[in-house]
Amino acid sequence: MLSTPLPEAFIDSIRLNSPFGDKLIDALDQPSPISIRVNPRKVAAKDLSSLRPVSWCAMGYYLEERPSFTLDPSYHAGVYYAQEAASMVISDLIKQLNLPEGARVLDLCAAPGGKTSAMLDALPLNSVVLANEINRHRSNILSENLGKWGVDNVLVSNDSPEAFSEVIDCFDVVLVDAPCSGEGMFRKDKNARTEWKPDSPVLCAARQTELLGHVIQSVKPGGYLVYSTCTFNQLENEDQITRLLADDSFELVSWNVPSACVPGRNKLGHYFLPGTTESEGLYVAVLRKKGTVIRSLENEQVPVSKEPIFGITLTENQVLIEERTGMHLLSKETLSLLKSIDSPLRFIKKGVKIAEQSPKGWIPFHELALMNSIETTIKRIALSEREALQYLRGETFPIQAQDPGFYIVTFKEMGLGFIKHFGSRFNNLYPKEWRIRMQLL
Ligand code: SAM
């Protein structure tokens, strides 16, 4: 139980203006469940036999107690992501939408990337996600997390929602997981309690209305707008949906919601509620833009790939592009989305960055090591758990290698990053900003 009490005005608002009542208020002082979502590309490295599944997410599991994620090399290898259970529902929701192969998705408020990676695991073949985050620092964390997830079909941009105002009829799904007053995090996060003020819902609602206004034209006719918050009040949730439905271009979509969820006020959307669902709080509503999806691909050129480096074998659907920032590997649909967006977005990740240019030639970039599915001639060296943690701390230690050169170091067969071996010693190429600072026992 958190020592900071729930704000009095919040308690009053739940009692007076919600159907949720004291059951919710009491639950907010109980311990939070701990959950993880496993990466289907790297599931072989995780023993799931003793874990209890999250009923609404195929790859979601509860943990009995909070481990030190920092001291688990598999966490850094992107084998799983620590995610609050309610948020995982986006995976199941996406699977239920009527989406074409090669669907295009915008995740407008994406950092740190939990819902982005959950969508990436659920979308039809050849789909692409553009994950955007307004905050610079958080957009870097988003890129890091998606780099660890090891996918070639994602773009990350660092822009305000306004930047999408001129992007018209582009996406099959736009997810707006809006910044909100955070009432649904009151159990897990003490700061959410102290930051909440009686006028937070009004202020947040105004911001949500504004940012929804910047992206509704980006949804294709026939496409979906998914709106979510982690708060319980009507202003930030049902009222936003009522406003969207008022101009008649959107309709509410019903989907197979987990049975423990509670319908929103006036049946607009649904809630995950602490004490009712085994999760924190989440509000989700799904809308569809009226009209038919128009898919015109005639003018799209087949992208030409650069010659592979490091003996990489590209699949039929992958291309390499060279930019000032380095060499990037993308799925063809990802490149095609990138080329089709006219607005000057600030992209900070394009697919998988595999190498950077140096005066002596290409140096492999750590995202390549984390993309476990890429075939390359770069050799691999397996580390013990202790060695893996030393590596993640940026240390060097004795490792046997056949020849000098670059190696991918692995833990339980999953890539962690690169080293450059010189015969008697190696340089640790793990990115400085990702290193763990915790002392090892
Ligand atoms: N979707 C994320 C996930 O599942 O990991 C969580 C997103 S969080 C609820 C909301 C995000 O909106 C934050 O990363 C925050 O930086 C961003 N944000 C804050 N103010 C914003 C604004 N005015 N416009 C757009 N995004 C904003």
Question: What's the rounded Cα separation, in Å, for the pair 200 and 236?
Answer: 10
The verdict on residue 317 lying in a domain is: no
What is the domain range of residue 430? 378-441
Q: How does pLDDT run across 2-42, given as a tens digit for each residue?
A: 578 999 999 999 999 999 999 999 999 999 999 999 999 99
Domain end (from 244, 271, 289): 289
Ligand 1 in contact with 336 (CB < 6 A)?
A: no
Cα 376 to ligand 1 centre (Å): 36
The verdict on residue 431 lying in a domain is: yes
Cα 99 to ligand 1 centre (Å): 25
Cα 395 to ligand 1 centre (Å): 34
Ligand 1 in contact with 281 (CB < 6 A)?
A: no
47: exposed, middle or buried (Cβ count in 10 Å: 0-12, 13-18, 19+): exposed
Tokens (6 digits) for 391: 């590596």
Which atom of ligand 1 is closest in space to residue 175's alpha carbon? Answer: 1
**Contact (CB, 8 A) for 119 and 94:** yes
Ligand 1 in contact with 364 (CB < 6 A)?
A: no
- When pLDDT is cut at 50, 70 and 90, the band that residue 1 belongs to is low
In the sheet that holds 52-53, the strands lie side by side as 52-53, 60-63, 34-38, 80-82
Output phi, psi for 53, to 5 deg.
-70, 150
Ligand 1 in contact with 213 (CB < 6 A)?
A: no
Residue of the CA atom closest to atom 8 of ligand 1: 179
Cα 145 to ligand 1 centre (Å): 15
In the sheet that holds 379-382, the strands lie side by side as 379-382, 405-411, 414-421, 426-428
Q: CATH number, domain at 414? A: 3.10.450.720
Question: What's the rounded Cα separation, in Å, for the pair 225 and 173?
Answer: 6
Cα 176 to ligand 1 centre (Å): 9
The verdict on residue 236 lying in a domain is: yes
* The pLDDT of residue 304: 78
Q: How does pLDDT run across 215-260, given as a tens digit for each residue?
A: 999 999 999 999 999 999 999 999 999 999 998 999 999 999 999 9
**Contact (CB, 8 A) for 82 and 112:** no
Continuous H helices in 216-356: 238-246, 332-340
**Percentage, residues of the chain above pLDDT 90:** 92
In three-state secondary structure terms, 319 is: strand
Question: What's the rounded Cα separation, in Å, for the pair 36 and 28?
Answer: 21
Helix-then-strand count for the chain, H and E: 12, 22
Instruction: Write the DSSP symbol of residue 313.
Output: B
Residues 285 and 426 in one domain: no
* The pLDDT of residue 441: 77
Residues 133 and 235 in one domain: yes
Tokens (6 digits) for 239: 């009222």
Cα 216 to ligand 1 centre (Å): 17
Of how many residues is the chain composed? 441
Residue of the CA atom closest to atom 1 of ligand 1: 110
The verdict on residue 340 lying in a domain is: no
**Contact (CB, 8 A) for 105 and 124:** no
Ligand 1 in contact with 110 (CB < 6 A)?
A: yes
- When pLDDT is cut at 50, 70 and 90, the band that residue 300 belongs to is low
Continuous H helices in 189-331: 190-195, 200-215, 238-246
Question: Catalytic: 230?
Answer: yes
Pocket test for ligand 1, best of 88, 109, 143 (most atoms within 8 A of CB): 109
Active-site position among 57, 109, 180, 230: 230
The verdict on residue 3 lying in a domain is: no
**Contact (CB, 8 A) for 60 and 88:** yes
Which atom of ligand 1 is closest in space to residue 113's alpha carbon? Answer: 5
Residues 261 and 139 in one domain: yes
- Is the model's pLDDT at 287 over the cut of 80? yes
Which residues lie below 8 Å from residue 141, measured CB to CB, with a gap of 6+?
A: 111, 112, 113
Question: What's the rounded Cα separation, in Å, for the pair 270 and 274?
Answer: 13
- Is the model's pLDDT at 298 over the cut of 70? no
Tokens (6 digits) for 357: 């240019």
Domain end (from 289, 318, 337): 289
Q: How does pLDDT run across 370-406, given as a tens digit for each residue?
A: 999 899 999 999 999 999 999 999 999 999 998 999 9
Number of domains in the chain: 2
Residues 135 and 238 in one domain: yes
Ligand 1 in contact with 367 (CB < 6 A)?
A: no
Q: CATH number, domain at 208? A: 3.40.50.150
Residues 275 and 390 in one domain: no
Domain end (from 289, 318, 353): 289
Ligand 1 in contact with 157 (CB < 6 A)?
A: no
- Mean predicted confidence (pLDDT) in 262-272: 98
Ligand 1 in contact with 182 (CB < 6 A)?
A: no
∠ Cα 82 84 89 (to 5°):
110
The verdict on residue 363 lying in a domain is: no
> To which H or E segment does residue 192 belong?
helix 190-195
Q: How does pLDDT run across 135-168, given as a tens digit for each residue?
A: 999 999 999 999 999 999 999 999 999 999 999 9
Model confidence, pTM: 0.97
